[in-house]
Structure 1
Amino acid sequence: MTIASISQLDLSKFPRRILLEGPTPIQHLPRLSARLGGINIFVKREDLNGLGGGGNKLRKLEFLIGEAIASGADTIITVGARQSNHARLTAAAAARVGLNCELVLTRAVPRFDTDYIDNGNILLDSLFDARVHDLPGSANALQFAEERAKELRAQGRNVYVCPLGGSSPVGCLGYADCAAEIMAQSNAVGLVFNRIVVPNGSGGMHAGLVAGFVAMNLNPSLITAFTVYGRAEQAHSATLDKANQTARLIGTDLLVDSTAISIDEAQLGPGYGIPTDSMRAAVRLLASTEGLLLDPVYGGKAFAGLVQSATSGNYVAGQNILFVMTGGLPGLFAYRSEF
């Protein structure tokens, strides 16, 4: 990997509103590495962003908010589950740039305790002055959002509708950019990662990283994801499609092969947002060895996959494994009873 290949990834033609304070650090976790048999575990601290409580969705929102502002929007609407990290950060970003924000949130996760319904991300949505539409789990949130946008447009408003997780091709550009950031950081210290591990929910982060690697002529199969939203086959198809759409935005001749997408469903458990014993153990392990906090929906399950891979011999001593910490800390408070 050379500096010249990094420079091939030019995203300057896309509208962008900077929301991050700068590159997020990559940190080595020595105590955890020793616990896992001498595998060198590193974390990319996407949780260390100041705006809105931090988290990986801000990278997508830099390009989504940029596109919204460029289109003259005065309102942004997005969708998600009731404890959506993306919704919370969309509300925070809208507050930062002066857009009205509406969130269409479904009760897609079968949890009815007070902490889940009223604490965590949903509390912060209110503080950021977003209007929340509370829908049942069976509702079509994106259809509702489009209908609401039509209502607002009839009133003279200019509305930008953002999909689940911000995982449109434009949003995925944020993680193509992050791919270049990771490689620049690793090159600067002469570090080569044998594997990059991420959660896969709406698939945008995974797709963007893969598209970025392809654009830089790097091997995208180094990236492994653990699905937390749907079955592996479904996640693979959706992620491949998004990766190709994103790659074509970067360069019309770029193509992502299906073999570039690696997704494991072993940590999904009963479904999205439903805790598992391995997730609880992984959250406690990272907290107790390194003082770092994972969310229970995305990072916790993906990190459980990393731990399982390490303990089963898929990784060996001396290898360098990078885990992308996506943030979502407020979700821990919504799942208080699980810990």
Structure 2
Amino acid sequence: MGELPRQADDRGVAARWLAPHPRVAIVHAPTALERLDRLSHALDGPTVWVKRDDCTGLAGGGNKARKLEFLIGEALADAADTVITAGAVQSNHARQVAAAAARFGLRTILLLTETVTGRGDAYQNNGNLLLDRLLRAEIRRAGDVESAPVLARIAEEERAQGRRPCVIPVGGSNAVGTLGYVAGGLELLAQLGALGVNATTVVHATGSGGTQAGLLLATRMAGAALDVLGISVGAPVERQRGRVLQALRAAAARIGISDLHAVDAAVAVDDRFVGPGYGRPAAETIAAIRIAAETEGLLLDPVYSGKAMAGLIALIRAGRFRRGQHVVFLHTGGAQALGAYADDFAS
């Protein structure tokens, strides 16, 4: 199964590559693909579309739900009774893991790290953290530590107590989780084809790398001419490209794809909109959130989608995307964290 389909008409063939892998139904699919006319007019550039992966369901939705279809599927196939994962205090990933675990009757342990420092009481008690508690996750707090060894230690402790834990890495961006955005990418390509929209690029926030990796693998599997541009939310270009490549190659190996010629060159990352750092919005992030809300009633977040929209707006104003073109903004969710960043919107 090492050869890829070469034409967009072969998307059905590509989708069958995913069929052998355990999967549960979580996502409200297909998520909507909407044209943002008022935002496009305000920016005086290309026609901007939004892929509404903030509406995937599961405790408010977000891109992690697609990954969790495969991650929870594998956990259940392995007879796991506990899922363990990590993220920052306001992690969207942690919230969605807790929600998925609750739906399928699994215990949840969340390791929440102090990756973002200097935030106030709202950050420490509101937003995603409030929802984690509502979802009855067991929360363990730690400083700005490397999470992988701590997760491994917690898993060993759980095994010693007779439980069957499943460790999900930060962001769910391993070989299994990345398959979620192979499926999501194929879904997007099918929607664009049905509408007759010849989009040049899909722009999205890239962090742990699995979303971008899955989208890239989907475009290659379908033989589609759609560029994938990740706006980094924290890491510099080369580190972020490395994350994406690692996830892409792992997922490709998982489904038996060896034809990855020139894939390195296809991994496009822009790190100019990180601002003060991960979880810290810049003024342009807040401005992007405001314009999306004011023109389209579209709620973005200060950590991921707000930075991606800031990047898209800047690129349009710089002439990277022009009138007559079509660009897709993949909304990865995260508006549940807005309450934790109320101070950033005070002025």
Q: Structure 1 residue 98 and structure 2 residue 105: aligned?
A: yes
- Structure 1 residues 43-79: Cα deviation after superposition (integer angstroms, max 9, x where no partner): 0000112321111100000000000000000000001
Equivalent residue number for residue 243 of structure 1: 248
Structure 2 counterparts to residues 58-69 of structure 1, below 5 A: 58-69=65-76
Equivalent residue number for residue 133 of structure 1: 140
Tell me the CA shift for residue 312 of structure 1.
0.8
Equivalent residue number for residue 319 of structure 1: 325
The match for 1:258 among 255, 264, 285 is 264
Tell me the distance in 2 between the aligned counterparts of 1:43 and 1:54.
15
The match for 1:189 among 179, 185, 195 is 195
The match for 1:88 among 85, 89, 95 is 95
Tell me the CA shift for residue 215 of structure 1.
1.8
Relative to the length of structure 2, the TM-score reads 0.95
Q: Structure 1 residue 301 and structure 2 residue 339: aligned?
A: no
- Structure 1 residues 202-230: Cα deviation after superposition (integer angstroms, max 9, x where no partner): 1110011111112222346x011110021
Tell me the distance in 2 between the aligned counterparts of 1:219 and 1:190.
14
CA RMSD of aligned residues (A): 1.2
Tell me the CA shift for residue 311 of structure 1.
0.6
Note the residue ranges of structure 1 that are not aligned, 5 or more in a row: none
Tell me the distance in 1 between the aligned counterparts of 2:87 and 2:291.
29
Equivalent residue number for residue 22 of structure 2: 15
Tell me the distance in 1 between the aligned counterparts of 2:203 and 2:269.
10
- Structure 1 residues 219-255: Cα deviation after superposition (integer angstroms, max 9, x where no partner): 46x0111100211110011111211111222333231
Tell me the distance in 1 between the aligned counterparts of 2:220 and 2:240.
19
- Structure 1 residues 147-190: Cα deviation after superposition (integer angstroms, max 9, x where no partner): 01101101110000000101111000000001110011111111
Code of the residue aligned with 1:63 in structure 2: it is: F
Tell me the CA shift for residue 141 of structure 1.
1.9
Note the residue ranges of structure 2 that are not aligned, 5 or more in a row: 1-6
CA contact (8 A) 1:214 1:247 kept: no
SS at match of 1:335: helix
Relative to the length of structure 1, the TM-score reads 0.97
Equivalent residue number for residue 48 of structure 2: 41
CA contact (8 A) 2:45 2:321 kept: no
Code of the residue aligned with 1:13 in structure 2: it is: P
Tell me the CA shift for residue 38 of structure 1.
4.0
Tell me the distance in 2 between the aligned counterparts of 1:163 and 1:8.
26
CA contact (8 A) 1:76 1:102 kept: yes
SS at match of 1:9: helix
Tell me the distance in 2 between the aligned counterparts of 1:248 and 1:8.
15
Displaced runs of 4 or more, over 3 A:
none
1:230 to 1:38, Cα distance in 2 relative to 1, 3 A = closer
Tell me the distance in 2 between the aligned counterparts of 1:213 and 1:272.
28
Tell me the CA shift for residue 6 of structure 1.
4.2
Q: Structure 1 residue 203 and structure 2 residue 174: aligned?
A: no
CA contact (8 A) 1:78 1:102 kept: yes
Equivalent residue number for residue 231 of structure 1: 236
1:179 to 1:6, Cα distance in 2 relative to 1, 3 A = farther
Equivalent residue number for residue 169 of structure 1: 175
Task: Number of aligned residue pairs: give it.
Answer: 337
Code of the residue aligned with 1:243 in structure 2: it is: L
Tell me the CA shift for residue 262 of structure 1.
0.2
Tell me the distance in 1 between the aligned counterparts of 2:257 and 2:193.
27
Question: Larger deviation: 188-197 or 92-101?
Answer: 188-197
Tell me the distance in 2 between the aligned counterparts of 1:209 and 1:48.
18
State, as a whole percentage, how many aligned pairs show the same letter: 42
The match for 2:130 among 120, 123, 127 is 123
CA contact (8 A) 1:211 1:247 kept: yes
The match for 1:333 among 327, 339, 347 is 339
CA contact (8 A) 1:75 1:157 kept: yes
Tell me the distance in 2 between the aligned counterparts of 1:18 and 1:50.
11
Tell me the distance in 2 between the aligned counterparts of 1:200 and 1:21.
22
1:293 to 1:322, Cα distance in 2 relative to 1, 3 A = same
- Structure 1 residues 63-103: Cα deviation after superposition (integer angstroms, max 9, x where no partner): 00000000000000001101000000000000000000000
The match for 1:215 among 217, 221, 234 is 221
Code of the residue aligned with 1:251 in structure 2: it is: G
Tell me the distance in 1 between the aligned counterparts of 2:310 and 2:241.
20
